[in-house]
Chain A
């Protein structure tokens, strides 16, 4: 049913003989609210844009596990540790679901993983920064997952079937991440002076990446118009940012948290929008191109983990082919 071979799909580029006719049928389907399935005709650019988006999304889930994974051994209680392990496990699983969804568009998983490790493929700006304290883990789990849910809930209603179905399942699990993150932040906010300061410090450090999370402002975003026309994206970056702020900034203020003053956050009652100092989008682009504080370290961890898992992939392939299954490298080492 699902093939990587997309050669049979013709007339999918502007200028091809049947392109205009197929495109108008395709766009009529989109405007009816029809979902697009892997074997359907779709414009070449629709396919490429979706591959790009889902690939970046999958990479972000995988890289998102890294800052939090670092803190598993340092969790302050067994309950927090169990929940954090569960969350990290979920995030990696989301990555797998999303790689699968991107595969249905014709891009092999190995290629996507190689492009991540080599630094060619992007991942979310927020995971280019280090988690410096336990409070960072709490802020990531609450606010960054909240921002992600705003984006993912919207994308779940998008026009591509496999991506939407994967996102519905992902959003269900993210609801636990978000609630647990909120619970952790409440604990710190109602704790000792030291804990409250630690939380405020984390918010101070993370507010900039969070404000950048939904991507460049509508004035600068170059993909949005096409993505919205084809029902891949249903709201603009700024609309998503506003939704996030409307929903979560009051909750933060309720916990006694303060937004760093340089942002000049101000709510306009009349328009129900938050005003703020526009983020430096050239800095955002610089970071997502792999120049963030821990970008190199993240990819090195990922590369090492991919290498260490190679024997498992080889063993599975050997077993499936009925060949002798190789032992893990450590088994040889232990034999002396």
Chain B
């Protein structure tokens, strides 16, 4: 008897409708339906869950950790973040000046 080889399925768990699906782990299974069953048993028994995705691991393309520096910025980019500005202090100074 030939047996369908098991493969690894990555499991994505959704805690409430509208929330993003979050990767929580992986299971071994021969097909998608079995993978859902396994995922349900392992990741949805206690955590609140409304939906599960299973994706064959080999369908996922990832960036190598060795290349993590590709996410680094070469220069200071605080100018593109809200915390990079001191508007509250500056605006208050205008108000104070106006009251004088």
Contact = CB atoms under 8 A, between A and B. Distances in A.
A251 B82 contact: no
A256 B80 contact: no
Interface in B16-54: 16-18, 20, 53
A176 B87 CA distance: 11
Contacts of B95: 254
B90 A176 contact: no
Contacts of A179: 82, 84-85, 87
Interface string A282-312: 0000000000000000000000000000000
A183 B90 contact: yes
Nearest to A186: B90
Contacts of B17: 34-37, 161
Nearest to A160: B18
Given A186-B94, A254-B98, A83 B80 contact: yes
B93 to A, nearest CB: 8
B98 to A, nearest CB: 7
A34 B50 CA distance: 10
Nearest to A254: B95
Interface string A157-184: 0000100110000000001101110110
A256 B98 contact: yes
Interface in A187-204: 189-190
Interface in B62-97: 77, 79-82, 84-87, 90-91, 93-95
Nearest to A157: B18
Interface string A61-97: 0000000000000000001001100110010000000
Contacts, number: 61
A154 interface: no
A1 B14 CA distance: 15
B85 A251 contact: no
A254 B81 CA distance: 24
A35 B53 CA distance: 17
A121 interface: no
Q: How large is the interface on A (under 10, 10 to 19, 20 to 34, 35 or more residues)?
A: 20 to 34
A165 B85 contact: no
A176 B81 contact: yes
Nearest to A175: B82
Nearest to B20: A165
A178 B94 contact: no
A227 interface: no
Contacts of B86: 183
Given A35-B17, A165-B20, A182 B87 contact: yes
A220 B82 CA distance: 36
A251 B79 contact: no
A186 B18 CA distance: 38
A86 B79 CA distance: 9
A190 B81 contact: no
Contacts of B77: 86
Contacts of B20: 165
Most chain-A CB neighbours within 10 Å: which of B17, B90, B94? B17
A178 B79 contact: no
Contacts of A249: none
Nearest to A156: B18
B98 A164 contact: no
B60 to A, nearest CB: 14
A254 B94 contact: yes
Task: Give 6 nearest A-B pairs by CB, closest first.
Answer: A35-B18, A35-B17, A86-B80, A179-B82, A175-B82, A183-B85
Interface of A: 1, 34-37, 79, 82-83, 86-87, 90, 161, 164-165, 175-176, 178-180, 182-183, 186, 189-190, 251, 254-256
